[in-house]
Structure 1
């Protein structure tokens, strides 16, 4: 432990605030600084990068909260990979770290930092040397160095947001990237040829679906009108469905054992594992697509993962895991049975893996019935009408947690896969991420505002 402590002491870190509870304005200021810095870095291109087919990274960029080709191309990838691997190692008992003690928390956080820095260097080398982000001759190590610096910047921006802002910087980066993608898909006025359609609205095709809709009405293009309207309507429908499903919950009535007549309700959300299962599923699919393309470029011929054209799988395993805009194909008359089969396999894969990841995440991240029962009992709470016993709490919670885990995982996988097939403005994963992260962000802001306005509420929350 002493040797590790010496190594951890050499790693710079963001200083924690002296105050236990930061004011709302302070958190808002630092969150906005981090958000603005993120967008600035996302618009700084890598120097020495050759002409790359960056479209292949579009799906992965949304999940990783980044813009490929920029200095922060690695995004939150190293942070997420380090967290998942450390979570797996501790959950499986391979690494025994007691995070309930101060020393255990420091050891856990220190190992996580080392893993993050390792993955920053590793992923930077893989992207450049395997020609995912191909550098110009003689500039490979310069591009790798820029990627490493960008990865380190993202890490410390995340740490700054966690200590001085409204929670996780990772969530903010994902929500910001996905929101920007949604906005550009709706209102992009510069088309793929680099021409501004606003300068010649009737003669130059727009890219944003809202502008395409208006343009098709003016120019009387029924096919373009139907395509744009379908994309916008499917986005709105999925948005409303996710908002509705987000509000579903099971509430367990609890009471304080020592205080009679006062009780609370312990909420268990329908999406019990939140959006984590679909993030892991989408990341796996995106990485299979990415690795398949890189492997084909490396060996010089298609592999079992399939053949890739412009970064998109057109055959092989990666093709059947992927998706095609079925609504667009039907409108334009290009629908084929193979795309329907691909859509079915896409849904099955997403639902199955999201359910599996949901169960796995709940069992390894301390969200199971046993851990929740211990947490409730430690707070001095008990289920109304039952004696105060951890085993009773566990048996009651077990009736709800595992069914919610399975149903919630399957439902969120189905929503994400269906959105992909309906051709919404962005991927199903991106829309789910935006809605859920923004909802959690709103709850944190509302709670912070409440504690600032009400001293009694501040005292109550700080005591808990």
Structure 2
């Protein structure tokens, strides 16, 4: 089923058409809010600061382009992601949360997600104050009192909550993941401006730079599509059982383990973790305490080193690939479920040996997946360094998000179309 056929089927089925239009409506609301700027911001100075700092460009991806507009949505889904990281880590060390997440099914996971929502606003408030203080130090915005900073930080916090809420409303329509689609729409909206910048800076003497860049870009897209769809298939056989006069089971199937099992989540987590110390440093510097100012300066100078930043970024992406996959793919539970339902891997004993086999297979896949995601994360920096321009930077993260979200959304729409046909 090709893309045009999927699009045609959406408008043929009334219920699916209605949900699709609701998603478009929510995305339009979101794009409208993105263009509402914060009060008293000098947009010209802000754009100068933004263009000089490539890290802002990276964070801008996950705000859906709102950061580039100095919008009330500038924090994007960053606070929610940071809260989710904290809660995910707590589920690994807190027995009560671990039991709630793994043993109580959808109800337990919904409660854990609710804790992440509660934690989002305090984090958004801290990040908002830190961001506004950074703007204040660069003479981009002026505050006469701390109350004005708190007012604007509350605006940014509420903006982050609205973005999270819109994402959940979109997810409820069962046409793709809401948060992913918001980020996706931001990347797509920025493409015309990026193409215009390329056109305006193009000269014939740069042809030798642009041509290899185009070839490498197409090769990167092909590589991302290939790796995103690549998977290891672990063969499974269900035991034969006699019920009455009939023989059941004995069916051969497989368990798919994708190379990018964690998707783009490790990159998102890594960026959220790198952003938080810097915004915290800006938050601490507000108090005008010498020790806190010294701590803030040390954090900023440490993360300003490009080699240290790149190494931390790659290491965090690689580490979160393992951590997130471990949190979402529970080998012990899967091995138990296989044993209960009479499913086994040929040549592997059920139970503990199956669990170890799954863990070893996943660790090997995560090694290559982590390196691939780390390479994509650093690709904009590598291409900018080689081409000596910010316009010619292949956004590996953006490509992965665009391709992953597009494939996931189309597959989900296909599933909804098939379900509707089955019901009819």
Shift of 1:60: 0.9
- Specify the alignment match of 1:65 in structure 2: 64
1:23–1:452 contact (8 Å) kept in structure 2: no
Determine whether 1:37 maps to 2:8: no
> Structure 2: how far apart are the matches of 1:290 and 1:428?
25
Pairwise mapping of residues 190-269 of structure 1 onto structure 2 (< 5 A)?
A: 207=197, 209-210=198-199, 212-213=201-202, 216=203, 221-223=204-206, 225-257=207-239, 258=241, 259-269=248-258
Q: 1:156 aligned to 165, 170, 173, which one?
A: 165
Shift of 1:119: 2.1
- Specify the alignment match of 1:86 in structure 2: 87
Shift of 1:368: 4.0
Unaligned runs of 5+ in 2: 1-13, 242-247, 385-391
Unaligned runs of 5+ in 1: 1-21, 189-206, 308-315, 323-344, 457-464
- Specify the alignment match of 2:115 in structure 1: 111
1:72–1:154 contact (8 Å) kept in structure 2: yes
Determine whether 1:442 maps to 2:404: no
Distance 1:127 1:282, change over 3 A: closer
> Structure 2: how far apart are the matches of 1:144 and 1:290?
12
Q: 2:320 aligned to 357, 362, 375, which one?
A: 357
- Specify the alignment match of 2:333 in structure 1: 371
SS at match of 2:232: strand
Q: 2:184 aligned to 175, 198, 205, which one?
A: 175
Q: 2:142 aligned to 125, 136, 146, which one?
A: 136
Q: 1:398 aligned to 343, 359, 371, which one?
A: 359
1:65–1:173 contact (8 Å) kept in structure 2: yes
Higher helix share: 2
Distance 1:378 1:86, change over 3 A: farther
SS at match of 2:73: coil
Shift of 1:415: 3.2
SS at match of 1:164: coil
> Structure 2: how far apart are the matches of 1:103 and 1:271?
27
> Structure 2: how far apart are the matches of 1:82 and 1:74?
13
- Specify the alignment match of 1:77 in structure 2: 78
> Structure 1: how far apart are the matches of 2:143 and 2:285?
21
- Specify the alignment match of 2:401 in structure 1: 433
> Structure 2: how far apart are the matches of 1:287 and 1:183?
30
> Structure 1: how far apart are the matches of 2:337 and 2:183?
30
- Specify the alignment match of 1:121 in structure 2: 125
1:63–1:283 contact (8 Å) kept in structure 2: no
1:66–1:173 contact (8 Å) kept in structure 2: no
Shift of 1:396: 2.9
1:66–1:72 contact (8 Å) kept in structure 2: no
Distance 1:33 1:104, change over 3 A: same
1:373–1:394 contact (8 Å) kept in structure 2: yes
SS at match of 2:185: helix
Distance 1:226 1:282, change over 3 A: farther
> Structure 1: how far apart are the matches of 2:377 and 2:334?
28
Shift of 1:452: 1.7
Shift of 1:121: 2.7
2:127–2:280 contact (8 Å) kept in structure 1: no
SS at match of 1:98: helix
With the length of structure 2 as denominator, give the TM-score of the two structures. Answer: 0.76
Aligned Cα RMSD in Å? 3.4
Pairwise mapping of residues 376-391 of structure 1 onto structure 2 (< 5 A)?
A: 376-377=338-339, 381-384=343-346, 389-391=350-352
Shift of 1:406: 1.6
SS at match of 1:145: helix
Shift of 1:253: 1.7
Shift of 1:376: 4.4
- Specify the alignment match of 1:196 in structure 2: none
Shift of 1:267: 0.7
SS at match of 1:75: coil
